[in-house]
Structure formats: C-alpha cells, structure tokens
Structure 1
Amino acid sequence: PQSGYFFGSPPPPYTECRVVKSVDESADDFLTDCEVGEPGQLITRGDNLMAGYVDNPAATAKALRKDGWYTNLGDVAYCLKNSADGGLDFYWLSRDSALLIRGGANYSYEQINAELAAFVCAEFGVAEEAVAVAVVGLRLGSEHEDECCVTIELSTPEAKAQSEKIETTFLQVAKKRVSKGAKPDRVRIADLPRNFKGAIKLPDLKDKVLWIK
C-alpha cells in the first residue's frame, strides 16, 4: 500500500478533486483518471478557487480550464475508497517535480527511495541509519519514459565496506526483487548533495553528466 499524508475527502458540490495521469495537453493520457491507489497529478474544481492569475490571461487559460478544473497545483497524490461510505479519501505524496514516469504510470520519488533503501538494508546487511537513497527520473535513452537513476549514500565504515558489492550487483538483483515502479536503471555510490537544512538537492542529481558514462 502507498504511504502518504491524508488531507481529506472533498465535500461535493463545494469542492471536487481528481487524480489524473497527466496535466500536459499534448499527452495521450491528458486528464485521464488514475486507478484507485495509483499516484498521479492532483486537480481540483470548486467555487472556492481563484478566478485567475492577475494580468496573465495565458497562464490562467493554461491552468484553469473552461470546465472549471484547476490543473496547476503541482502535487502528486492518490485516492483510496473509504470503507465507511464508499467515497474517496485523498492522500498527498510529493510535489510533481519528484515524480518518475514510466510505462504510462506515475511513481513518487519518496516511495521509491523508501523501497530501495529497505532493499539495500535487507540484501546487503547495511544498517538502516547508515544508508540514504535518492532517485531521479531522467530521459536518457527515451524521449517518452524516465530512467530510474539511483544514488546510494553510505555513511559508516561498515556500510562503505559493501560499496563495491552494491555497485556491481545492485541493478541485477534489485530488478528481480523490487516493485515495477522502483526497478532501477542506473546506480552510483556517492554522497548526496544537501542544502543547509539537510534536504537533498534534486536539481544537482538531475545533471545528466553524472549518469552518462
């Protein structure tokens, strides 16, 4: 099951929410609803929305459709059916800049990071506190689908002793044992770039020079 932050069950007719595969008008799956439990782009509609961007009709037309749906939230979410009333509960996962797209489906970086970190601990005997994983999706071999590029940071001498084994066998083993969305395409062992608050700097990891050998 997905892990996310529950943020409510929109009360129609005042507020409507949907989770869709794409908000890109050029995409084949533009505004196609995701399956229950599948991460996607959150969109919303209701009388409580803004009327538009000040003095920017082009941005308004792009984000606020004529049918009332606002598509520029920039959030990744999913929904689950509520067993009590059959309605949909919505859960926030991440910003859409932290989204990997492959096989027509959306996968949250946060979810993949957690799964791959757990895999490293279980497969290579690395302590949980000694490993950090950060993935980014990059279109290196295809114009239409992301590759899952994985950076693994090992922070203790015991963990670093496994670095060569991890670097040489991780891809082969992980592709057989992790979920479809988390299957890695490229891996590197390195320190993760962080800002002064300790947050990982994703733009630095998206430098294609790091991944093309």
Structure 2
Amino acid sequence: MRYGIMVAAAVLITGCSTVKPEQSEQTAFKRENCIETRCVVTYHQAAPYWTEQHQRFCPQSQFMEAWGTEPEGTWCCTYENGQYSKSGLARPFMKSLPAGLMNAELAALLYTSFTLGSGFEPLSMTPGPVVGIEGRQYESFQLAARVDSPTITAYRNRVSGRIELVRLTDDKEIDWLAQSYNLRFHARLNRMIPRKIDIFDIRDGIPSKKLLIEFDYIDIQ
C-alpha cells in the first residue's frame, strides 16, 4: 500500500515517465525545452464535471504527457508521433466522461491545438482551400498522419496569421473541433501561448456545435 501511494505521488509530480525507469534517459532528452502546464478541465455531460490535470508539451520531439488524480485513482497517458499509451484510464467513471477523460483522439487533438496555437508548426502540412468559419476566413492545412489515423486539419486565421482551429475526424463516430484562444506572452519561450482550449462536437455541423471539454490553463512554465 505504501508503495502504491509513493508511485501515485511521483506521477503527480513528474508524470508517467517516473514509473518507467528503463525510459529515463530518453525521457530526460524529451523534457528539454518542454512546456509544463497545469489546467482546470471541465467535462460537459448531464452535469459538468471539474477536475485538474498536468500536461507536458514537447514540440521538438512531438511528445505530450498528461496525468492527474480522480476519485477512482491516478492516471497518466503519453502521445508521441501519433502513438498513444495510457495507464489507469479504464475505470468506469473515467470511461463515462467525454473522450473517456483522455483517449487517443483527444490527446492528438489537444497536442496539435496547443502546439500549433503556440506557433510551433509541424514539418509537413498540406495546404488546402480557404474556408469560412463563423464569419472568419481561414487557410486550411492537412497534417500528415498514418493511414489508420484520424484526419487532422488546421485552420489559420487570414487576418491574425495564427492557427486558431484544429479539426479531428475519424469519418465514423468522431468529428471534433478545438479552438485555442486567450493568448498570453510567455517570457521563457518568447512567444504567445493559448490559455484556453475548447473542444466541440461538430458531427451536426459547426452552427450546431456542442461544447464537450474546456481546458483552462492556470499555470504554464
């Protein structure tokens, strides 16, 4: 029991990699120039559910790590170059939340929205048509992905020049739109970072979008 408590505390402090000693050298490399965040997350269902998460974004290595503690226990997940792994997320209440608290699709969409919204752009983006969304004009770009992966499209505002929207769809059950906003200047990174990301279900179209999840970043290091 004491060991379990120690592991849970370690995960809260430093993330999933703490319980994977065999990956310590690789993880140390990945953490160089990473962005450490703490956020309040609101999951919208029959009644809103509020919780707190830690998230680490490493744009140079295309790596993201998220972790937290719920009444059912501690959880963590990683997303790296399109590969997703998780621990502790199979509990009943967590699975009942939108995106199962943090499934592979949400991790991919969140990583893409946060990093692109912060001005970190991937090496490969295929230009698409200019589209109008809610009265604004956007240049669209499709991100490279594996054949079996969801399609991710980024939208750059033609006026501000920044990527504000990211869409993820698997052409089956998921069609989500992420919007990043509330930019604040980050001195260490010397760039503007979004303090808010909203995730919408747009299966019935953008005019009928449904708010699923809100990420409110209260601390960014």
Name the TM-score, length of structure 2 as normaliser: 0.28
**Greater radius of gyration (CA):** 1
Structure with greater strand percent: 2
